[in-house]
Structure 1
């Protein structure tokens, strides 16, 4: 089934693992949860010896266990969960995994944008049915959030702060009263949330000031701040994990050389340090330099080598991918990358000597910068 989907949701991708966990789970489950809180944690973070499981469960989200535990406890209460953090910190992926483990469906999603309306979180109408037969429950089109209420499932709201204040405020009654009124109907005009209903929202901490949450809405959420991954080992595991998925999807048999992964990780570490030391936004790359962007750079380089090279990952291709991905403003970002290449990459290549990955990385980056200039 997964080979017919460009990207399978977590509950499909890990269906066998979820079914096995459910079959051996004898822990207390809130409401109609598919797994107990301990098993939800094991599914997300991977199994530990203390879990007493007969098989190893893979780790799917890399972060502090306290964040996951607080998120799970929040979802077992009557409060909403708001995952907030910088771009690329894995907020959406964590929300998807939690939804898959708790109710077996992570696809009840509303995407917050400037164009999101109240209909997207409540309901709309099938116009042709309304014209033919009038307004009825059959002609009503429930939103993903209303569907989650009716099923006692988890509804997700991505990028909450990117939607307008009136749309955000429509969530207040849902989170507090746990029902939606349908005033157009005379009968059967209220949808009550079933036990197990919960909302997971995500917000980008860099969107502060776009559409700030009201105090009333904030009170109905528990905030879990997801930090940027700063541990080198954890970041390497995340990059490997996500890249393995890409290779499997494209049926590419390739091992990422550890030396090239080190070059990528070190480059991002150096670029972050330079960004932190910069005195103005003009001296910083527009990119957030997140782990997700590292994954994108590596995936781009792998696919380029697979389709246009000799099916191997090379340092020069990796450098070209990094420059192409991070040079978003011209000429500002190119000037920053050019300075980085001459001030940081070139000395590393000189210290390494001939034949090392930094030398090829240096030349590939120079060529990419020149081509874009």
Structure 2
């Protein structure tokens, strides 16, 4: 399968050659029908080190604490589901995709949790025209991604679990505990049993607490791995560089990311988080989660703007405009917060440090004025 024909290739396609090579040298014990051993899964996600003694370097793809990845892998080797929980933009879905790709070479069996998600989305539905023509049978049944994962003995994914209703969550309890789905409409062949290797990786947004809280029964069937917001500037810089280089390759753009501008972006988000943490009410906080993912979005916006409407050189003025435009989601509340931030934080920094900070100051001011 060629990833050039996809807007965004899944991890098992994007890293197919790398996964093939890891599988060819992997002599470690593998649980169930796993394609890679747990050690190789960890190496695929976190990248190789000289001490691994490999003939080629494996790049790091997810940046976070090693223990989070190891606990996730161990959970998937057991009979419990894995729940990755954390703030928006902390890389939960990306980690789930990488784990699925490494374990079973299929990360696309996904259910997206919403208020409109029903039991059919995690069990099965029917092809109405086939039912009318031939009646209900296994051939006229449309299995959900979760049921398909059960039949194949692979990983199924459930995104934003806490956004789905309690009925859907309750239906998931029986799948996780009994490991089969009954089909009462059929007289024969009316049970789908999960094959060895089946598991579920779910994600939950910690900001959705109170939307549809998980029952204690469902919680018992998951091992929780909490993914914190990345606050270490070095780690965050590595994530932003990694994801931005991928975006540049995807858009076929040759543009250098000046280190000084990356520092300005990282420092601005750090300062905004500090201001948000000290705010006394929600009205004084930006609606944005100020996550690493949002930094990447700001940078991508600035790069594309420079490529298509600028002189193909990323500048501080363009970066500031992208930052303000991306974070000003509520008007006038967010604009007022950003205006205060620009006067109280960015302006003093531009006086103290000069250089690109001065253009960053002016670019932000212009965008705030234009949006006000």
TM, length-normalised to structure 2: 0.99
What is residue 131 of structure 2 aligned with on the other side? 130
What is residue 91 of structure 2 aligned with on the other side? 90
1:3, distance to aligned residue in structure 2 (A): 1.1
What is residue 349 of structure 1 aligned with on the other side? 350
| Partner SS, residue 180 of structure 1 | strand
Encode CA deviations 1:5-24: one digit per residue, 9 max, x unaligned.
Answer: 00000000000000000000
2:151 is equivalent to residue 150 of structure 1:
yes
Encode CA deviations 1:53-103: one digit per residue, 9 max, x unaligned.
Answer: 211100000000000000000000000000000000000000000000000
Distance 1:98 1:167 in 2: 24
1:244, distance to aligned residue in structure 2 (A): 0.7
1:48, distance to aligned residue in structure 2 (A): 2.0
1:33, distance to aligned residue in structure 2 (A): 0.1
Two-structure CA RMSD over aligned residues (Å): 0.6
Distance 2:170 2:112 in 1: 16
Distance 1:184 1:169 in 2: 20
| Partner SS, residue 333 of structure 1 | helix
What is residue 36 of structure 1 aligned with on the other side? 37
Structure 1: tracts of 5 or more residues without a match: none
What is residue 203 of structure 1 aligned with on the other side? 204
2:161 is equivalent to residue 160 of structure 1:
yes
Distance 1:171 1:283 in 2: 39
Encode CA deviations 1:303-334: one digit per residue, 9 max, x unaligned.
Answer: 00101111111100000000000001111111
What is residue 367 of structure 2 aligned with on the other side? 368
What is residue 58 of structure 1 aligned with on the other side? 59
What is residue 181 of structure 1 aligned with on the other side? 182
Distance 2:199 2:60 in 1: 24
| Partner SS, residue 17 of structure 1 | helix
What is residue 21 of structure 2 aligned with on the other side? 20
Structure 2: tracts of 5 or more residues without a match: none
Distance 1:116 1:53 in 2: 45
Distance 1:5 1:179 in 2: 34
TM, length-normalised to structure 1: 0.99
What is residue 232 of structure 1 aligned with on the other side? 233
Distance 1:125 1:341 in 2: 56
1:51, distance to aligned residue in structure 2 (A): 2.5
Distance 2:231 2:265 in 1: 14
1:4-15 aligned at under 5 Å gives the runs 4-15=5-16
Encode CA deviations 1:173-220: one digit per residue, 9 max, x unaligned.
Answer: 100000000000000000000000000000000000000000100000
- The count of residues paired between Structure 1 and Structure 2 equals 371
What is residue 258 of structure 1 aligned with on the other side? 259
| Partner SS, residue 138 of structure 1 | coil
Encode CA deviations 1:270-297: one digit per residue, 9 max, x unaligned.
Answer: 0000000111111111111000000000
1:49, distance to aligned residue in structure 2 (A): 2.9
Distance 1:179 1:70 in 2: 25
1:261, distance to aligned residue in structure 2 (A): 0.2
Encode CA deviations 1:209-248: one digit per residue, 9 max, x unaligned.
Answer: 0000001000000000000001100000000111111100
Distance 1:83 1:307 in 2: 38
| Partner SS, residue 84 of structure 1 | strand
What is residue 283 of structure 2 aligned with on the other side? 282
What is residue 140 of structure 2 aligned with on the other side? 139
2:37 is equivalent to residue 72 of structure 1:
no
| Partner SS, residue 139 of structure 2 | helix
Distance 1:88 1:79 in 2: 25
